[in-house]
Amino acid sequence: MQPISPKDRRIANIHSATFTPFVYPDGIALGDAVLQLDDGPPLGVGFHVYRMPPGMTTRGHRHNGHEQFLILEGELHESDGTILRAGDMVFYRDGTEHNSFTPNGCLLAVHIAAPETPVE
């Protein structure tokens, strides 16, 4: 086997890497941030690590494709009252609508198939 070229591999540590602030298409920033190594899809689409600061609530949104995530740290309260904790793995089907709140901050490993659509 040939050695892997640096242009063919990216490595980042979730505890020391710089996360990119997430800005919604309408310019709103809520303090959340993304660590995403694949720069092909838009930020927050595909596989990434997502950090929410304490007290943050995501905007209501509809999934355009499935979303799956694993909570690595913290706790997430879903709009239907479900409380998710570190170690919980979650799947949302295409078309699902929700928002999330974290009282003390959280870190998630996420895969989102396509950009989400805001809902009010």
Domain spans of the chain, in order of start: 25-118
Query: Which residues are within 8 A (CB) of 12 and not within 5 positions of it... i.e. 6 or more apart?
Result: 35, 37
Structure tokens at 32: 């959340």
Phi then psi dihedrals of residue 118, to 5 deg? -65, 145
Average pLDDT over residues 92-118: 95
pTM for the structure as a whole: 0.93
Given a contact cutoff of 8 angstroms between Cβ atoms, the answer to whether 32 and 22 are in contact is: yes
Phi then psi dihedrals of residue 11, to 5 deg? -130, 135
Q: What is the pLDDT of residue 46?
A: 97
What average pLDDT does the chain have? Answer: 95
Query: Which residues are within 8 A (CB) of 29 and not within 5 positions of it... i.e. 6 or more apart?
Result: 21, 22, 23
Homologous superfamily of domain range 25-118: Jelly Rolls (2.60.120.10)
- Using CA atoms, how far apart are residues 79 and 93, in angstroms rounded to an integer? 16
- Using CA atoms, how far apart are residues 115 and 75, in angstroms rounded to an integer? 24
Average pLDDT over residues 61-82: 96
**3-class DSSP assignment, residue 8:** helix
Given a cut of 80, is residue 120 above it in pLDDT?
no
